[in-house]
Amino acid sequence: MKALNPATNQPIEPDFAFGGLAEVHRAATLADDAFDSYSHTSLTARAQFLERIADHLDAARKELAARASLEVGLPEAQLEAEAAKAGVQFRQFADVVRKGRFLQLSIDPALPERQPRPRMDHRLQKMAIGPVAIFGASNFPISYSVAGGDTASALAAGATVIVKAHNAHPGASEIQARVIRDAVRDSGFHEGVFSMLRGSGNAIGEALVEHPLIRAVTFTGSEAGGMALYRRAQLRPDPIPVFTEMTSVNPAFVLPSAQQSRGAAIGDGFGERMLVNVGQACLKPAILVGVQGEGFDVLRRALIKRIGEAPARTMLTPGIHASYVRGLDKLESAGAHRIAEGGEPNASLDGQSMLWEVDGAEFLANPVLADEVFGPSALLVKADNAEELLAIARALRGQLSATMHLEPEDMPLARRLLPQLERRTGRVVVNAFSHPQEVSFASIHGGPFPATSDSRFTSVGMTSIERFLRPVSYQGFPDALLPEPLREANPLGIPRLVDGQ
């Protein structure tokens, strides 16, 4: 295949080869062969490996950003920042590995005198789940792609990794894969620690999810694709966990006092965040809910102005552009009223910004209005009163994030709204928008279905490592046979729970 430049709709050199089922099997076998040695590397050696990837990423940053920009139509400077972020992410995980807290060490010492029966010594640590298959996203061609957070957290956990590259950016994927493979080689690790596959159609991805040596899957993309792979994994003779991150409209609720005092700023800020990455972001705020009144009108005018001034910009792929156009038609058919449109498209894959409006009753009557339209489109919902605003929150499906804009006078309503949002999202934001996302210990990029397939985990942040870990308990072990972190003298000095304390 050749990459496509979405700005010109023309192919870009060079050719890239596709793998087939034989390559899936070879990569899975290599990942399995490498697993025992890689998952038992010392924490220091593993941290150094992650830092080496970061160093190589830094060295390749300009080349990577230039190629990614050609392939996805986003500005080069933005992609350089994304590449820098990817390097930082590997360094953050190196720190997590060195500190060792992710091992969640627990020791229940032997109680030989306990009645009616003695207790044997139990020691628990988390260890890597096995070889992992990762489906990279299309919309962040570095930080959610081959050298993205899924790969960083899986390698940090001690899992071996096979990435199914997204065909939207084959050259950028290739550069990232080389960076990681160089670091594997420089670290003296088995080559099966990391592989990347590229294929056409669904066959390669399906074979990967069904391969008996694969022990977990992560995916970022459409609900249809994510659920197809999820179902496939559950139908295996030995079902495996699949962590999909699929769809979210990240609703913003503007409470009456905030709307009255800051309506224009909130409307403008929402528009600005909605347009980031041409609206092709999982955290795009897509639905803004306010309560009818003077403040709402001010907010509405600011938002209309912002959207009206937005030029049409290149979207990621012909498929995503086509699905955006279908999404707009679907909103219109579902009764949404178009109240603003941005500049006209100049090229075939340009996405034109759109703003739609419905009232609360219309929104509640038609669930299609709450579906994600991936691209620069947003929906304004005018609730009649606070009770209808709460009803709208209750009608929403699972989300990655939700926002409340509030002033002190809004606290009683915020206290009623919050439990509804907690039940439906992984992250609740006050007086800001959900994009951008921090990569930190307390950040969550997850949420109830259909935002993800497993609301107990996050795909971004330091706790994303937990997706690739499982607990093992060692009972009655001689000290010399125990994993180093669990030995009596605690040679690594990692904090451990002893008898739950």
Task: Provide the annotated active-site residues.
Answer: 245, 282
Counting beta carbons within 10 angstroms of the beta carbon of residue 158, is it exposed (0 to 12), middle (13 to 18) or buried (19 or more)? buried
Minimum Å gap between C-beta 494 and ligand NAP is 34
Shortest Cβ 245–ligand NAP spacing (Å): 6
Stretch (H or E) spanning 133: strand 132-135
Minimal distance, residue 219 CB to ligand NAP, in Å: 6
CA-wise closest residue to 173 among 22, 47, 19: 19
Q: Is the omega angle on the peptide bond into residue 483 within 30 degrees of 0, that is, cis?
A: no
At closest approach, how far in Å is the CB of 449 from ligand NAP? Answer: 13
User: Beta-carbon neighbour count of residue 344 at 10 Å?
Assistant: 9
Residues 209-248 that bind ligand NAP (CB under 6 A): 220-222, 225, 228-229, 245-247
Taking the least distance from each CB to ligand NAP, the nearer of 100 and 221 is 221
Interface with ligand NAP, residue 282, by CB under 6 A: yes
Using the contact rule CB under 6 A, the part of the chain among 146-154, 184-192, 297-305, 318-326 near ligand NAP is 318-326
Q: Which is nearer to ligand NAP, 216 or 266 (CB)?
A: 216
- Token readout for 144 is 């959610």
Strands 497-498, 377-383: pairing kind? unpaired
Closer of 131 and 221 to ligand NAP (Cβ): 221
- Angle between helix axes 43-59 and 76-99 (nearest 10 degrees) is 170
Instruction: Using the minimum distance from each CB to ligand NAP, give the nearer residue, 41 or 401.
Output: 401
Q: Is residue 293 within the footprint of ligand NAP (CB under 6 A)?
A: no
Should residue 437 be labelled a site residue for ligand NAP when binding is judged by CB under 6 A? no
- For position 425 contacting ligand NAP by CB under 6 A, the verdict is no
* 149: region left, alpha or beta (phi > 0 left; psi from -120 to 50 alpha): alpha
Sign of CA dihedral 34, 233, 26, 179: negative
Site string for ligand NAP, 105-144 (x = CB under 6 A): ------------------------------x-xxx-----
Phi, psi values for residue 348, rounded to 5°: -65, -30
- To the nearest 10°, the Cα dihedral for 63, 65, 70, 76? -130
* Size of site (CB under 6 A) for ligand NAP: 25
Write down the least CB distance from residue 75 to ligand NAP, Å.
19
Our CB check for ligand NAP shows the closer of 219 and 296 to be: 219
Name residues whose C-beta falls within 8 Å of residue 315's C-beta, 6 or more positions apart in sequence. 6, 73, 278, 280, 321, 324, 349, 350, 351, 375
Question: Does residue 202 interact with ligand NAP by CB under 6 A?
Answer: yes
Residues 321-340 that bind ligand NAP (CB under 6 A): 323
Q: Tell me the residue type at 398.
A: G
What is the contact surface with ligand NAP in residues (CB under 6 A)?
135, 137-139, 164, 166-167, 202, 205-206, 220-222, 225, 228-229, 245-247, 282, 319-320, 323, 372, 374
